[in-house]
């Protein structure tokens, strides 16, 4: 005869053990799964060649003499003179500023500001390292 007052007990320990084993297996296998997505890339035009733009080299020595592509400038009027000089240059070319380490930080930043005002966006400061 069945006792209706008796409550059945669920033993979930084997279920937890099986789930932990499956979790461990998935944790070991998941990093090794490689997803590959097939993508059809558009064809580029092979007729147009990329043109190399010559970079603009700005060198400042410890005396404050500025040389831009072998042309000398004075520090006091560099901003205006470089603005006029840059009209003959390509504004998308790279500008490399090399300054002596003994120069004041403000001098280098004023040269950098003049280059930015002239319309150049790709400006780098050269270092020894």
pLDDT in tens, the chain (129 residues): 677 777 778 888 999 999 999 999 999 988 887 777 787 777 776 666 667 778 889 998 888 889 998 889 888 888 888 888 888 888 888 899 988 888 888 888 999 999 999 888 888 888 775
CATH 1.10.150.120 fits 56-125, yes or no: no
Residues 98 and 109: beta-carbon distance below 8 Å? no
CA distance 120 to 83: 10
Contacts of 79 (CB under 8 A, 6+ apart): 110, 113, 114, 117
Q: What is the pTM of this model?
A: 0.57
């Amino acid at each position: 005869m069945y006792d209706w007052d008796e409550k059945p007990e669920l033993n979930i320990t084997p279920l937890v053990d099986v789930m932990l084993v499956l979790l461990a297996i998935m944790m070991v296998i998941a990093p090794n799964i490689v997803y590959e997505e097939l993508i059809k890339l558009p064809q580029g035009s092979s007729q147009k060649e990329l043109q190399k733009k010559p970079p603009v080299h700005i060198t400042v020595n410890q005396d404050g003499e500025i040389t831009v592509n072998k042309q000398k400038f004075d520090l006091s009027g560099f901003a205006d003179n470089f603005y006029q000089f840059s009209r003959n240059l390509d504004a998308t070319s790279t500008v490399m500023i090399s300054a002596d380490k003994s120069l004041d930080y403000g001098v280098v930043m004023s040269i950098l500001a003049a280059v930015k005002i002239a319309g150049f966006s790709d400006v780098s400061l050269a270092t020894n390292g």
